[in-house]
Structure 1
């Protein structure tokens, strides 16, 4: 694993932690309380969204690099 990948993973984990902390501070200042089940659901939903985004981006780059998006025929076939 390259140094750039490790830095990107650490930066992503730090951003996720800071976003969760920011939400907790915002909700506590507004007087909103959430049970542990709510925090677990919030965390699982966040991880699910991140996993879906990562998977879709991987498919996008894999398809582009593999030539699956290239044109097969010519544009003047029907003209």
Structure 2
């Protein structure tokens, strides 16, 4: 019963978010983006995706090459 209630709450939140996004993007016409706005948005989205992909790639690279291992203390001194 608790899982069903939790699922219903998440579905309601998802629906509310979708309605809010629809009315926010398709609402008033006097707030429409021009060519420069769309260009800036597209460049921002592409740049954000590239940064995310680059950071994930660095994370996998450092994980496979041992850069994220804890330091080893040498006791031979």
Q: Which TM-score tier does this pair reach, normalised by the shorter chain?
A: 0.5 to 0.7
Counterpart in the other structure of 2:67: 68
Q: How do residues 1-79 of structure 1 correspond to structure 2 at under 5 angstroms?
A: 26-31=24-29, 32-74=31-73
Q: Alpha-carbon deviation of 1:24?
A: 8.5
Aligned-CA RMSD value: 2.4
Structure 1 length-normalised TM: 0.55
- Measured in 2, the distance between the counterparts of 1:42 and 1:58 equals 24
Give the ranges of 4+ consecutive aligned residues of structure 1 lying more than 6 Å apart after TM superposition.
Answer: none
Q: What is the CA–CA distance in structure 2 between the aligned matches of 1:35 and 1:60, rounded to whole Å?
A: 38
If you compute each CA radius of gyration, which structure gives the higher value, 1 or 2? 2
Which position in structure 2 is the counterpart of 1:18? none
Q: Work out the number of aligned pairs and report it.
A: 54
CA distance in 1, matches of 2:56, 2:64: 12
What CA distance in whole angstroms lies between the structure 2 residues aligned with 1:59 and 1:30?
Answer: 42
Structure 1 Cα separation of the partners of residues 41 and 22 of structure 2: 11
Question: 1:38, 1:24 → 2: CA distance?
Answer: 19
Contiguous gaps of at least 5 residues in structure 2: 1-20
